[in-house]
Structure 1
Amino acid sequence: MRSTNLLLGLVPWVLFSMIAERLGADAVGYAALAACLGSLVLAVRGLRADGLKVVDAAGVVTFGVLAVAGFAAGHHVRELLVDYARGGAALVLAAVMLVSVLTVPFTEQYARAGIDRRYWESPVFRSLNRRLSLMWAGIISVMALCHLIAGALSASGGGFSSNILLNWAVPVLLVVYGVKHTDRIAEGARPTGSAS
């Protein structure tokens, strides 16, 4: 599995965070709409290529709900969305990833594109993808916690440094760790004769 394919599925989640933070409460509905449309594009692309990805479907639903709230709610609720929706969306994503471990691990949906079909039902393939999906659910859960703490600090007048640390530095380090670990496991487990 190439982690770049997995990271592409996370782009709408980052897009929402960047737009909402930069443009503030009056643009939170637009930020959610942009993320919803980005998730929809990825979902349609996935349907045409190799099937709907659970992360893309979760993005369409999550950001669709946030867009409706962002457009329909008053200014106070939009302020709350700017402070806490990033963490809330990350919690939804972590929950989707965690539940996928019990059904079809979400990483398996990405890994199938780079591995011969005969290995898809392999216990090793399934086990590795359960571990990877569980790892990513943990990473996104920690990110969600960081985002929620940053939101609470921001709502109480917290400083710029806590925003940079909790909303950007820690999440970026976590994603870098996740990508490196995913790539290391994928390379070590690649069967002979499989596609990359």
Structure 2
Amino acid sequence: MTEPDKTEPDKTQPEKTGPQTAVRKTSVVDAVLQSPLAGLSPWILLSLLSGPGRFEESAAAALGLSLLILAASHRRGGTVKLLEVFDVVFFGVLAAIGLLASANTIRWFELWGGELTNIALVVFAFGSILLRNPFTLQYAKESTPEEYWTTPLFLRINYVITAVWALAFTWSAAVGLFGDALLHDGDNFWTGWILQLLGTFFAISFTEWYPEYAPNKAAQAQGLETEPPQSIFRLFDFLPVFVAVTGIAGLVTDSVSVTAGVTLILVGVFGHLAMRRFTVD
């Protein structure tokens, strides 16, 4: 989340000739470890592996990945992130429950584990904001020169991005709870998978888009000469492909009718073509 350059010399963000160049030369592994997705990947793994009779295995796998990410980050000279520590503690508790708890307790976690993990992330994300240490800030600092860490623009960008992630976690918890409590279907295609993934992909897209948008928007507001802010359509660049893949997944899993699946695919394809017209540079 390196800040793009502006034309004014007030050091509210780094210039492209410095950190931007460094980011391009960063290895793939380092780039992943410098992204919040590294800390969130154990949660994604847990959601993919979870299911009836697989609580212990999914919790152990998530704990293993959490430890691997923590060790890799430390080995490559990165700072220990609050999210990575939270991962190890949370999944360590879940793994212990899987080993020691009764069968009834494990069945409860299999039913409500999705909502529990989402709520835990909501508390963590909003808690980091309340403590004035938004969790994305630690990742952003690793790709931004120290001289910019205390600038209002840099801090505001990370507060906003962390808040969007917190809202995405809240959305996932709400739709998951709706599926479990009202539909009585924890594996519902829409509430258990698609709608939750929609919130996650939106947060990912926002994380990439907002650091490019906010500096130029702020410069415009100050009457400074700068490049136009990125189009807001860029924020939804992922959506047509997401809709098309949803149609394909629905057909493959027999979760939607043939008509609905084909319609989603066509909407996604034509939406992608239309989006290109709005986001062309």
TM range (shorter): 0.7 to 0.9
Aligned-residue RMSD, C-alpha = 2.3
Judged with a 3 Å threshold, the aligned counterparts in structure 2 of structure 1 residues 148 and 61 are, in CA distance, closer, same or farther, namely farther
**Any gaps of 5 or more consecutive residues in structure 2?**
3-30, 217-225, 227-281
CA distance in 1, matches of 2:107, 2:47: 13
Asked if the contact 2:149/2:155 (under 8 Å) is kept, the reply is yes
Match of 1:8 in 2: 38
Deviation at 1:148, TM superposition (A): 2.7
1:47 is the counterpart of 2:74? yes
Task: Tell me if the contact between 1:83 and 1:152 (Cα under 8 Å) persists in the aligned partners.
Answer: no
* Offset at residue 90 of structure 1 (A): 1.4
Which contiguous aligned blocks of 4+ residues in structure 1 show a shift greater than 4 angstroms? 189-192
- Which of 189, 202, 207 in structure 2 is aligned with 1:182? 207
Which residue in the other structure is 1:100 paired with? 128
What letter matches 1:28 in structure 2? Answer: F
Matches of residues 73-92 of structure 1 in structure 2 within 5 Å?
73-92=101-120
Greater Rg, structure 1 or structure 2? 2
Q: Secondary structure at the match of 2:50?
A: helix
Q: 1:57 aligns with which of 80, 85, 97?
A: 85
Are the equivalent residues in 2 in contact too, given 1:150–1:166 (CA < 8 A)?
yes
> Please, which of 60, 67, 87 is the counterpart of residue 95 of structure 2?
67
Amino acid at match of 1:51: T
Unpaired runs of 5+ residues, structure 1, are none
- Give the CA deviation at 1:152: 3.1
Counterpart position of 2:253: none
**Corresponding residue for residue 169 of structure 1:** 194
Q: Hey, what's the Cα distance between the residues in 2 that align with 1:159 and 1:127? A: 37
Kept in 2, the 8 Å contact 1:107–1:129? The answer is yes
CA distance in 2, matches of 1:87, 1:140: 10
| Rounded Cα–Cα distance in structure 2 between residues aligned with 1:176 and 1:46 | 24
Q: Which deviates the most, 2-11 or 63-72?
A: 2-11
Q: Equivalent residue for 2:159?
A: 130
Aligned residues: 185
2:40 partner amino acid: L
1:147 to 176, 181, 204: 176
- Distance, in Å, in 1 between the alignment partners of 2:92 and 2:59 is 7
Give the C-alpha shift of residue 133 in structure 1.
0.7
Residue type of the alignment partner of 1:139? A
For 1:9, the aligned partner's letter is G
Normalising by structure 1, we get a TM-score of 0.84
TM-score by length of 2: 0.60
SS in 2 for 1:114: coil
Shift of 1:45: 2.4
User: What do residues 1-32 of structure 1 show as CA deviations (whole Å, max 9, x unaligned)?
Assistant: 179622222110011122122xx23x211211
Number of the residue aligned with 2:16? none
Question: Percent sequence identity over matched residues?
Answer: 28
